[in-house]
Amino acid sequence: MLARIPSNWIHRARQRADTLRQVGIDATPVVIGEEWATPETQALAQQEKVEWLVGGGLSQGFLRFRQLPPPEEPQDAPTEAEVSAEPLHEH
């Protein structure tokens, strides 16, 4: 069965992201499915600023999200090169 995205999914994604933002979480509303239930549903997603991955197509916001660089490592943690360069101590 194909996952067709109806308008209530758009509203739920928006509401969940808004709720998470109220408690300080940076949340992006997203819907994922095989096809839109109606052409109007895609327009609603754009109007409500809900990002999407539908049938292989991506919204611009979803694409930008996927291209974010990985988070930096904490500065106090040694790098892999530093760890492998440390001499081994024999007992």
Where are the chain's structural domains? 26-68
pLDDT score of 63: 85
pLDDT score of 19: 97
Supply the DSSP string of 47-67, one letter for each residue: HTT-EEEETTEE-HHHHHHHT
Q: Which residues in the chain land under pLDDT 70?
A: 1-2, 68-91
State percent of the chain over pLDDT 70: 71
pLDDT score of 66: 78
- Amino acid in the structure at residue 34: E
pLDDT score of 84: 58
Q: Which residue has 């997603």 as its token pair? A: 45
Question: Please, what is the average pLDDT of the chain?
Answer: 84
According to DSSP, residue 10 is labeled H
